[in-house]
A = this chain, B = another copy of it.
Amino acid sequence: MKYVYRFEEGNKEMQNILGGKGANLSEMTKIGLPIPKGFIVTTEACLNYYENQGKIKSNIVEEIINHINYLEISTGKTFGKGKNPLLVSVRSGAPVSMPGMMDSILNLGITDEVAQTLIKNTSNPKFVYDSYRRFIMMYANVVKGYPRNLFEKKLEEYKNAKNVTRDIDLEAEDLKQLVEDYKKIYQNVGGKEFPNDPTRQLLEAISAIFRSWNNERAIYYRKMNSISDHLGTAVNIQEMVYGNLGENSGTGVAFTREPTTGEKKIYGEYLMNAQGEDVVSGVRTPSHMDELKKQMPDIYKEFCNYATLLEKHYRDMQDMEFTIENGKLYILQTRNGKRTGMAAIKIAVDFVKEGMITKEEAIMRIDPKQLEQLLHPRFDENVLKTLNPIGKGLAASPGAAVGSICINPKEIKKRKEREEKTILVRMETSPEDIEGMNYAEGILTARGGMTSHAAVVARGMGVCCVSGCEDLVIDEEKGEINFQNGITLKFGDIISIDGETGFIYKGTIPKKEITENVLLQEFLSWLDEIDTIKVRANADNERDAIQAKKMGATGIGLCRTEHMFFSKERIFSFRKMILSTTMPERVKALNDILPYQRIDFYRLFKVMAPNPVVIRYLDPPLHEFLPKAEEEIEELAKALHITKEEIKERIHRLKEFNPMMGHRGCRLMITYPEIAIMQTKAIMEAVILLKQEKLNITPEIMIPLTVDQKEFEFVKKIVDDTAYKIMRDHSVSINYEVGTMIETPRACIMANKIATSATFFSFGTNDLTQLTYGFSRDDSSKFLNDYYKNKIFIEDPFASIDINGVGDLMKIAIDHSKKVNPKISLGICGEHGGNVKSIPFCYEIGLDYVSCSPYRIPIAKLAAAQAKINKKEKVKK
């Protein structure tokens, strides 16, 4: 077994054994870039180190020493001694990029004797002692774990004594003294002299890097990112080149494209007379690469050539490290560069136009999270940096909102009319707050998790929301809100809430608005070229439907009809319906609502025709619609000709212990078939209106919360009977489908029965997750924090589908239903429908579409396209 490779022996495909950095150094060596000579100790050596109880086996030590010999021969230098001494850098490089591990040690091989030789050779004692003192500190810190600040303090002392601020302004003599002081510190801390044997130093450094693979931060990082613990890290040993050799030397990092905008230009920073760490340490201000163009035009041109070469070779934007030693350019590292969402889009689109990658590759390059950034306004990061948040909740719906605190949803519309921007602040929200939520800039709640009413509705509306800020208390009497940290704000005070982070700030923070972006539109249009799982929208009204269409929805996957009942003129009739004790009274009240529902459906259908629209029948428990205000109760009492006490009594009777598992969904229609009759009438009559305008649509009627075939068939019969009657009365024929949500575990298990009479299923994974876990989404945020803290859960099961648990139930439902009804249409309309982690799973298990809020459609489409491309690539392999 071979444990050590020369750069000449590797290539970029060998990341697994050479690590990312080593593989790229090999690759660059192969294509002829000026890479300092070096070799790589493989990840397998690392694994062997652990198998061998934390010791490097003698055969591997031998291989390393043989390669040092090779390095001596190919550089014409001798390691840590002789007339032309060889110094090396030692750097870690795991197969996947992994912060938390130890990084690098430079100048290894330097000793007092070598220092003298180097001074002789370079006539640059300042450079030599500078290199020496850096090496001692890095070795002490990285290999031995001695505190870095002991050394830095000493350096500070020297600078203070000399009254200089920059390291390079110290003289050779100071640095020489510093080297001695560093050695003393080293001895004081560990009780041993600083080692003077380069080979021993090298082996210690390699062992330290192996050990850092299993330090706590690294393990935690791997766990969080599902990276195997059994990869190991490689170690790169490379001839030193010196950016600190004088004013003709330097070092820098640069991107092949601008990483925030994606513009095609070299973008980076460099420092003359410096080693790598100086560029990032901020002690000296680095120069922009444009400066280098003027300062060293040939070097700059050479660098640009390499940049172009590497971009073409790696087919991606590169993040390069380089060093100039006495006017000669060396490349020390290249890797795919990190970039903002905007830059990612521009680079991907440009690369396609430049013929470097295919559209499919471009699609695979964009992280859906980056796309999300682009679709919402954000606070100016530079301003954010200067501010302390006053509280923190869950980042429930992205965006950035500024407005005055308002706790009354009804007030918000009025203020909007006065062009006043408001943040709705509530303990929690309920369906009757919908209108206020719609007109608010943002929503802040004290209770409720990522799938609380506030969070779900806000995401649906594209309104920024921070939910579950447990520290927040609303004091209505005093007209103020209090945070547990003692901060108090009056109603009407301005706050800013950040839907990306969950932070809450006092006052106004300037926003960066993302305007319409041609490049983005072009990119999005490519997504439609991929034949993958379809994306529909959750939309409850004409406005949402228009937005959905604009975002490219292929239909509406969920129209929550209950949201249609909340405007003023309707809620009154609806409440009358709920509180009636006889069917004729209920029918009368429902008849008052019918015209509104009909016109709502008509408008919705008109926007979407001929695309399908799924209409979910009334779902929430009735008491969600009931009045709380005394005057509303009085008004209702009058209308129903009963006493206020009687109304209160009826309201009380409707209270439930666990409303989420109470009288809701199709259970309402079993008790009150007249509701289903009214809703069916409204739909059919809307279709007839459309037909008169020569527009066609096939409404998909969705029965919520089904648990049983007979239950479904009972409601379906109401729908069918009503529909047939209307068709007969109007002498028309209307195509429509009747299907159901699959949102109870029992519906999954009984899918083989239910599917015999349903033409479509739509997974309601919010409720399904609630019931599968027994986690109330309104209450679980409280205890889930303890689950994260104790690492029982890594993430909120409401955020992305729990593939093992909920996902298994979905698979059971799909298998069962396809057996009895192979043509059944399958979708998902829960929150997970817009979740990028869940969409590949939905594609994988064979759903026909996902449905999500209009604002998430582009993100969902991207995830869907990527799922398809991934699958194709897997099949290829």
Contact = CB atoms under 8 A, between A and B. Distances in A.
Interface string A677-711: 00000000000000000000000000001011011
A744 B773 contact: yes
Contacts of A749: 772, 804-805, 808-809
Nearest to A782: B663
Q: Which of A663, A714, A770, A779 has the most CB of B within 10 A?
A: A779
Given A771-B771, A806-B746, A808-B749, A661 B660 contact: yes
Total identical chains: 2
Given A657-B659, A661-B779, A671 B786 contact: yes
Interface stretch (A254-262, A458-466, A787-795, A841-849): A787-795
Interface string A760-798: 000000010011111110111011001100111100000
Nearest to A770: B661
Contacts of A790: 670, 714
Interface string A91-123: 000000000000000000000000000000000
In this complex, the interface size class of chain A, counting residues with CB under 8 Å from chain B, is: 35 or more
Interface string A636-670: 00000000000000000000111111110001001
A710 B661 CA distance: 27
A662 B779 contact: yes
Contacts of A745: 745, 771-772, 805, 809
A661 B661 contact: yes
Given A749-B772, A771-B772, A662 B804 contact: no
A746 B772 contact: yes
A758 interface: no
Contact of A776 (B661, B778, B780): B661
Given A746-B806, A783-B667, A656 B776 contact: yes
Contact of A787 (B658, B711, B802, B808): B711
A750 B804 contact: yes
B783 A663 contact: yes
A778 B658 CA distance: 8
A802 B783 CA distance: 31
A810 to B, nearest CB: 11
Contact of A792 (B710, B770, B804): B710
B744 A786 contact: no
Interface string A54-69: 0000000000000000
Given A670-B790, A809-B745, A660 B657 contact: yes
Contacts of A809: 745, 749
A661 B793 contact: no
B711 A661 contact: no
Interface string A404-435: 00000000000000000000000000000000
A767 B776 contact: no
A521 to B, nearest CB: 42
A787 B670 contact: yes
B750 A805 contact: yes
Contact of A793 (B708, B770, B780): B708
Contacts of A667: 783, 786
A774 B774 CA distance: 9
A43 to B, nearest CB: 29
A656 B808 CA distance: 29
Nearest to A715: B792
Contacts of A663: 779, 782-783
Interface string A698-740: 0000000101101100100000000000000000000000000
Contacts of A705: 774
Contact of A779 (B657, B773, B783, B792): B657
Nearest to A655: B779
A513 B778 CA distance: 50
Q: Which of A775, A780, A790 has the most CB of B within 10 A?
A: A775
A773 B746 contact: yes
A792 B667 CA distance: 11
A159 to B, nearest CB: 47
A705 B804 CA distance: 18
A808 B750 CA distance: 9
Contacts of A782: 663
A658 B776 contact: yes
A656 B779 contact: yes
A628 to B, nearest CB: 16
A783 B671 contact: yes
Nearest to A665: B774
A792 B670 contact: yes
Contacts of A714: 790, 792
Q: Which of A662, A791, A802 has the most CB of B within 10 A?
A: A662
Given A774-B767, A783-B670, A805 B662 contact: no
A860 to B, nearest CB: 26
A519 to B, nearest CB: 44
B744 A774 contact: yes
Interface string A187-221: 00000000000000000000000000000000000
Nearest to A705: B774
A660 B776 CA distance: 8
A776 B744 contact: no
B805 A746 contact: yes
Interface string A506-546: 00000000000000000000000000000000000000000
Given A746-B805, A779-B656, A804-B750, A661 B774 contact: yes
A94 to B, nearest CB: 26
A750 B774 CA distance: 14
Interface in A210-234: none
A775 B708 contact: no
A772 B792 contact: no
Nearest to A649: B473
Contacts of A792: 670, 708, 710-711, 714
Contacts of A770: 661
Interface in A799-826: 802, 804-806, 808-809
Contacts of A767: 774
A749 B812 CA distance: 11
A212 B91 CA distance: 93
A803 B392 CA distance: 47
Nearest to A621: B779
Contacts of A710: 791-793
B808 A778 contact: no
A783 to B, nearest CB: 5
A777 to B, nearest CB: 9
A767 B791 CA distance: 26
Nearest to A660: B658
A662 B659 CA distance: 12
Nearest to A794: B710
Nearest to A663: B783
Contacts of A661: 658, 660-661, 770-771, 773-776, 779-780
Contacts of A806: 746
Contacts of A660: 657-658, 661, 774, 776
Contacts of A662: 776, 779-780, 783
Contacts of A746: 772-774, 802, 805-806
A750 to B, nearest CB: 6
A667 B774 CA distance: 11
A658 B659 CA distance: 7
B707 A805 contact: yes
A114 B783 CA distance: 89
A198 to B, nearest CB: 47
A591 to B, nearest CB: 22
A459 to B, nearest CB: 20
10 contacts: A657-B660, A658-B661, A663-B779, A667-B783, A670-B790, A710-B791, A711-B792, A746-B774, A746-B805, A749-B805
Given A662-B779, A749-B805, 9 more contacts: A658-B658, A658-B776, A661-B776, A661-B780, A670-B787, A744-B774, A746-B772, A749-B804, A771-B772
A-B pairs with lowest CB-CB distance, top 4: A658-B776, A661-B776, A745-B745, A657-B778
